[in-house]
Amino acid sequence: MSEELSCKSSLDVPLLPQWNHHEEKANIASHHSTKNTTVSLFRTCLNGLNAISGVGILSVPYALASGGWLSLGLLFAIATAAFYTGTLMKRCMDKNSNIKTYPDIGELAFGKTGRLIISVSMYMELYLVSAGFLILEGDNLSNLFPIGEIQIAGLAIGGKQLLVILVTFIILPTVWLDNLSMLSYVSASGVFASAFIILSISWTATFDGVGFHQKGTLVNWNGIPTAVSLYAFCYCAHPVFPTLYNSMTNKHQFSYVLFACFLLTTVGYASMAIIGYLMYGSHVESQVTLNLPLDKVSSKLAIYTTLVNPISKFALMVTPITDALKDLLPSTYRNRVTSILGSTVLVMSTAIVALTVPFFGDLMSLVGAFLSITASILLPCLCYLQISGTYKKYGYEVVAIVAIIIAGIVMGISGTYTSIMDIVHHG
C-alpha cells in the first residue's frame, strides 16, 4: 500500500526545477510517513498479474478482428514497450527511496506541473477503467438473466441498470480493504479467473460445436487505431506499479515481478485473441463472452467466471485514488470511518458513469488511446529522461525512448479520434 502523504495536499508541493538528489529527497520525504512493507514476492506477483490481466482479455478478440492478423504484432510491440516503461518507472523510484506514488515521479521530474499532469491522467484512467468494470458486469449479467424494466419508488429502472447497481454493492466491501497483503487473496481469484476464461472458451470451441472455422483478414487498415487502443488498454496498470513496488519486502525483486507479469499476461492475451477471432471472425462482439451460446455449460462457466474479474480487480485499481482522497483531508480527519466513507462515494460515482455511458468497447478504446498511452507509455519515458539526465547523452537508450514517445503520440492521436467518433456514432 502506498504511504499516505502528510497534512498538505498531494498537489501542494514545491517546484522541483532540476534533478538534485539531496534536495529532491528532502522535499518528497516531507510529504510521507513510513509504514512497514511486508508483501512477499509471490503476493506482489499476484497483485501485479491481477492489475495487468483481467477484463482486457475479453476485448482482445474484438481488437484483433478490428485490425486483422497482422495487428497481433502490435500487441507484442505494445507489451514490450509497456514492460520497458515499467522498468523505467522502477529506475526512477530507485533514484529516490522517498518516491511512494506515480505523482511523486512527476514531481521529481517536472515539479508541481509534472505532479498535476500525472495525477490527472492516472486518476482519470483508473476511474474510467473502474466504471468500465461495472459496464462489463451489467452486459454479461443481463445476457445471462434478461430482466425487464422495474418500478422502484416510482422510478423506472432497466434490467441492466439494476444489475449494475447490485454489482456495485457487491464490490463495495473489497474497496474497504486497506492492506495489499490481504488484497493479494482477492487478486488470486482474479488471476485464476483469467486463466479459467481462456480454458472455458477454448472448450466451447473445441467440444461444444462452435469450432474454429473463421479465417479472418490479414489486415484492416481502418481498424488499426481501434486495435491499438484496445491493446494499449490491456496494459494500463502503470499507475499501480509504485503502490506494488513500495508494498514489497524486497524492492530489488520488482524487475522480476514486472517480467513475470508481462510475460504471462501477454501469452494469455494473445491466446484469447487468436481463439476468439478463429471462433467468430469479424462478428466477434466487444466482449467475446456476449457471442457464446448460452445453452452450453462451458459458456456459462466462462461468463460466470468473467463476472469474478471486475470484482477482484476493482479494489486494486481504485487504491491510488482512495489514497489521494485521504491526502486531501486534514490529518485530524484521517481515520477508518472517513476512509470507508470516501471509498463508498467513489464507488457510487463510478456506478453513475457506468449507467450514463454504457458502451464498453468504445469507452475502453478511448481510455486506451488517450489515457493508457499517456500514463503508461509517454509519461514514464519523459519522466525518466528528465530524472536520469539521459537526454543529455546521445545513445541507444535515448533513441529507443524517443522512438517509443513518437509512436505513442501517433497511436494516441489516431486512436482517440477514432474512439470519439465511434462513441458519437453509437450515441
Asked whether the predicted pLDDT for residue 199 surpasses 80, the reply is yes
Report the top-level CATH class of 37-426.
Answer: mainly alpha
How far is Cα of residue 132 from the mean position of the Cα atoms in its chain? 10
Q: Work out the average pLDDT over 36-56.
A: 77
Between residues 408 and 392, the one the model is more confident about: 408
**pLDDT for the residue 366:** 84
Mean pLDDT check: name the lowest of 170-184, 265-279, 310-324. Answer: 170-184
Most confident among 137-151, 173-187, 223-237, 329-343 (mean pLDDT): 223-237
Q: Where are the domains of the chain?
A: 37-426
Asked whether the predicted pLDDT for residue 377 surpasses 70, the reply is yes
Asked whether the predicted pLDDT for residue 416 surpasses 50, the reply is yes
Mean pLDDT (the chain, rounded) = 82
Q: Work out the average pLDDT over 101-129.
A: 89
Asked whether the predicted pLDDT for residue 110 surpasses 70, the reply is yes
Predicted model pTM: 0.80
Q: Work out the average pLDDT over 75-99.
A: 92
pLDDT, tens digit (0-9, with 9 covering 90-100), for 215-264:
889 999 999 999 999 999 899 888 889 988 988 888 888 999 999 999 99
